[in-house]
Amino acid sequence: MPSAGIRATREGVAGLTMLGDISLLQILLVGGVAFLASLIGGVTGYGTGLLLPPVLITVLDPSMIVPVVSLSALVTNASRLAAFRSDFAPATALRVALLALPGSVVGALFYTRLSGPGVAVLIGAVLIVLVPLRRILKRRHGTLGPGAASWASAGYGVINGGTSGSGVLLLTILLATGLGGSAVIATDAGISLILGLAKTLVFQSAGSLPPVGWLMAGLIGACAAPGAFLARRLAARLSDVSHTAILDAVVILGGAVLVWQGARAAW
């Protein structure tokens, strides 16, 4: 029987071999999109989990997308929280995170039971639905009471656990509780960091994060981290109106591609 150290070394070599099957152009594309998504997310509060799946689907198995995005988001959200730490609302972050945590774990467990085509269809459908849903919920800005906010946080946890890009819902919930500006970005990052840790543990325990997943997540995190600090400088003076329209179009297109690919594989 090989020792644990030998097995770990073999797994690491296997991961490097798998990453070697990805072209340099694909690696540069993933890194570039990660940086851009982090920059956009640092200004508007969302974007990373929405823009990465359509790119990752070209280099990874669909079942690895949410686990890899969740793992890389630990670095992204930690850097964003550090950049906006003076605006962090700890009481709100703790309350929402505790309410969302059980559902997030359940959602992540459900995700690990899906097939590759089922995962692609699920992520794509959610990305498409989130665009109009975000616009509808945005009208609720500042109108959610404690009870409604609790239910919304619990429901968000389930969606967050099994999908990528659901941060737009968290952003809307925080806005609807009365937070605004950089406080939303900082608090969103803190909550997402807590939920991301729980999801990563679930995915790792279920075997959904092989070595190549850790390597790809490390690449994304390394490229995304600088974007959060640059976004801090841009947040005070950059309007997100045009970005929102472009991002919505990209999300719908990417979601449609994922649904089409998943449906084609299933049939």
Note the pLDDT of residue 47.
66
Note the pLDDT of residue 148.
76
CA distance 188 to 169: 10
Name the band, by pLDDT with cuts 50, 70 and 90, for residue 99: very high
pLDDT average, residue stretch 44-57: 75
pLDDT in tens, 111-134: 888 765 666 677 667 767 766 766
Q: Which of 168, 139, 144, 147 is nearest to 156 (CA)?
A: 168
CA distance 185 to 190: 9
Kindly list the domain boundaries of the chain, sorted by start residue: 4-266
The answer to whether the pTM exceeds 0.85 is: no
Residues listed for the chain: 267
CA distance 49 to 34: 9
With a cut of 80, say whether residue 210 has pLDDT above it.
yes
Contact 240, 43 (CB under 8 A): yes
Note the pLDDT of residue 66.
86
pLDDT average, residue stretch 44-63: 77
